[in-house]
Amino acid sequence: MSGTVSSQPAEVQSLEKVISHKFGRPKLLEQALTHSSQARELDALKSGGERTADNEQLEFLGDAVLGLVTTEELFRRFPTFSEGQLSKLRAHLVSKNHLIRVAEQLELGRYLRLGRGEEKSGGRTKAALLVDALEAVLAAVYLDAGLETVRVLILDNIVRPQLEEFVSQGMAGRITDYKSALQERLQAESRAQPAYVLVKESGPEHQKTFTIEGRLMMSGDEKVEFTARAQASTKKAAEQDAARQVLEYLASQALLGGRGEE
């Protein structure tokens, strides 16, 4: 990397303290923080030769490493979740909306190496640039120290804090689409889809309460195996809660060794 890049060594050392990793190859971190606008400006000052490396390829690798570590943690932590539930929870944890908050907490914006145009247009606070830099930093740590080191960084800063909130504050309803998760699980087991039946509607027009039953049918039979009952201010919310109850029932049956009729 050229010695003319803008961030001071002390600032890079500060970032190393924030992420609790001292780079054996500091140029990896420099590359992870270098936006293409800065790299192309540096190239324009050269008279040919090797192009200045930016963080685009590292971002690609970091995205894959983040996905792997997140998937492994969810697989280990939620053994009773369906594939659909795990997929949707993973999608939340690696989403731009979640990663931008992590990047802001790490104050990555102050360390970015930007071209003059990006600097003037507020690049240090742009969500896309911050998320890309975060993924590139993950890749840099992975290349510098291996999977176990970057795993700790990802779990401590991206995955576990959100999962603790997910578990302690009951955020499942905001993260998981229970109806889709139930549909995917039943399809995978070649079972009939549940019936969602409106059994009661009460209250004034502007403040109604809907009671929905989610009826799970027995395999190869028209008999009802399990009925979930849920109330909410909208039919959609009541159906989601009924689907959640059915998923919990299926999980409990799996723990008990499955259904006897199969």
For residue 13, the SS3 value is: helix
* pLDDT tens digits along 209-248: 999 999 999 877 779 999 999 998 889 888 988 998 998 8
User: Which sign, positive or negative, has the C-alpha torsion 161, 165, 167, 172?
Assistant: negative
Q: Which two tokens stand for residue 169?
A: 């504050």
Query: Could you give the angle at the alpha carbon of 53 between the alpha carbons of 49 and 55, nearest 5°?
Result: 165
pLDDT, tens only, 163-207: 877 765 555 545 567 788 788 788 888 889 999 999 999 988 888
Q: Tell the CATH topology of 177-255.
A: Double Stranded RNA Binding Domain (3.30.160)
| CA–CA dist 217, 229 (Å, integer) | 15
HSE, CB side, 13 Å, CA atoms: give it for residue 252.
7
Sheet order of strands, 224-232 included: 195-202, 209-217, 224-232
Residues labelled as active-site residues: 63, 135
Domain ranges of the chain: 9-174, 177-255
What whole-number percentage of the chain has pLDDT above 70?
Answer: 87
Q: pTM for the full model?
A: 0.63
pLDDT digits (tens, 9 = 90+) for 60-105: 999 999 999 999 999 988 877 778 778 878 888 998 888 999 999 9
- The two most distant CA atoms of the chain are separated, in Å, by 78
SS3 196: strand
pLDDT for res 120: 84
What local confidence, expressed as pLDDT, does residue 153 receive?
97
43 pLDDT exceeds 70? no
Look at domain 9-174 and name its CATH class.
mainly alpha
